[in-house]
Amino acid sequence: MFRKLRNRLIWINLGITTVVIVLVFSVIYFSSTQSANMRPDTIYNNTPAVPENNSSVLEIGNMDEYFRNMFSEQMQSLFRNSIQDERNAAARQLLTTLIISGIMIEIAVALISYLLAEEAIKPVKEAYDSQKIFIANASHEIKTPLAAISANLEAADIHGNRFIENVERETEKLTTLNKELLTLARTDIVSETIASEVSLGEMVEKDLKSYKPRMKDIRFKSKISVGRIKINATDFMQIFDILLDNAIKYAKKEINLTLTEHTLTISNDGAKIKPDEIGHIFERFFQADKSSEGVGLGLAIAKSAADRNHWKLSAESKRITTFRLDF
């Protein structure tokens, strides 16, 4: 997240600098070339010939006319071409100098922007990390009393009491929320990723067996064509479980799964996500379906795990809703 923010600041600075450089250097180039082209092409000879009537040069009314008459048309043309060639060469040299100067300025601005952006986001990053550590610690501490409440409710063995059932249901939701908050906080805090060579196809096939009972009324189609690859299997399987669980939760009749060496896609025929909501589904606590029993953290956890591995997790909802992971 902070890498994207830093890069955005750098690109904004580079964009502004580029516009300013192009405008200023364009004015310099065109004004310089236009000024050179407006100069007269009059050629002065160091040893001018004396007019036939022996009148002095000062008595000539039009000096330009006098000097032009000293040369033949061919010589005038050669001199003009020579002068124009010199002007063109000077213009090219000026353009090259401006381009090199612009590149050097851009590099300097990029380096300065990088340093300034790092300093600008440093306090924000520190506050964000502190918040994540707090959430992780708080969630860890809350886990113990929640487990005690659940254990005591089970030990009480009270059936048919709607108030106790409400407490059990809300305790279960709170336990799920706390678990997801702890997972999300740990995912954000841990920056290192460990990749190892695994048989990804076999892992997914084995994991699918635990989902079969939940998909007895759903037509499930899978195409798995991947063998042994080097990947962060822990994060991948976490994302896989979240996406598949989400598909089962919202599917009506059909789920399609495709896994290749670099891509995972899971689609379902559930209700379409509105265009103005599709860009928010990976945000924390966002729920497109307000009636859902979830808390809106599953997809946020999946997105966080994908980002820290530099994978791309995207979604689209047209005829069907499809989640795609490029890894």
For residue 1, what are the CA distances in angstroms to 115, 217, 249, 307?
Answer: 17, 40, 29, 8
Higher pLDDT, 56 or 221: 221
Assess contact for 42 and 64: CB atoms under 8 A.
yes
What is the distance between the alpha carbons of residues 221 and 201, in angstroms, rounded to a whole number? Answer: 15
Long-range contacts of 194-198 (CB under 8 A, 24+ apart): 194/232, 194/234, 195/230, 195/231, 195/232, 196/230, 196/231, 196/232, 196/233, 197/228, 197/229, 197/230, 198/228, 198/229, 198/230, 198/231, 198/233
Q: What is the pLDDT of residues 77-120, one digit of tens each?
A: 776 677 777 777 887 888 888 889 888 988 888 888 888 888 87
Structure token pair of residue 227: 């063998």
311: Cβ–Cβ under 8 A, 6 or more apart, which residues? Answer: 325, 326, 327
According to DSSP H, which parts of the chain are helical? 2-37, 63-69, 73-156, 162-189, 200-208, 233-250, 298-308
Q: Where are the domains of the chain?
A: 2-122, 126-189, 197-326
Higher confidence at residue 181 or residue 242? 242
For 56-60, 182-186, 314-318, which range has the lowest pLDDT when averaged over its residues? 56-60
Q: What is the pLDDT of residue 267?
A: 92
pLDDT of residue 60: 47
Of 180-189, 194-203, 267-276, 298-307, where does mean pLDDT reach its minimum? Answer: 180-189
Residue 297: both structure tokens together: 């953290």
Indicate the fold that domain 197-326 takes in CATH. Heat Shock Protein 90 (3.30.565)
Residue 55: phi and psi, rounded to 5, are -75, 150
Contacts of 268 (CB under 8 A, 6+ apart): 247, 248, 250, 251, 252, 254, 255, 256, 320, 321
Flag the least confident range among 60-74, 93-107, 160-174, 292-306: 60-74
Give residue 311's pLDDT.
Answer: 92
Note the pLDDT of residue 291.
Answer: 61
Query: Can you tell me the mean pLDDT for 170-178?
Result: 77
Mean pLDDT, residues 160-185: 75
CATH for the stretch 126-189: 1.10.287
At 299 the pLDDT is 86
Q: Taking all residues of the chain, what is their mean pLDDT, rounded to a whole number?
A: 78
Per-residue pLDDT reduced to its tens digit, 240-288: 988 998 898 888 889 999 999 899 999 998 888 888 888 888 887 777 7
- At residue 54, the pLDDT reads 47
Is the pLDDT higher at 231 or at 160?
Answer: 231
CB neighbour burial string for 240-263, b if at least 16 within 10 angstroms, e if fewer: bebbbebbbebbeeebbbbbeeee
pLDDT for position 192: 63
pTM of the predicted model as reported, rounded to 2 decimal places: 0.54
The number of C-alpha atoms within 13 Å of 34 and in the hemisphere containing its C-beta is 6
| pLDDT band with cut points at 50, 70 and 90 for residue 314 | very high
Cα end-to-end span (Å), the chain? 18
Highest mean pLDDT among 80-84, 148-152, 198-202, 295-299: 198-202
Lowest-confidence segment of 40-49, 141-150, 178-187, 242-251 by average pLDDT: 40-49
Confidence of residue 1 (pLDDT cuts 50, 70, 90): low
Q: Kindly report which listed range (61-65, 72-76, 158-162, 179-183) carries the lowest average pLDDT score.
A: 61-65
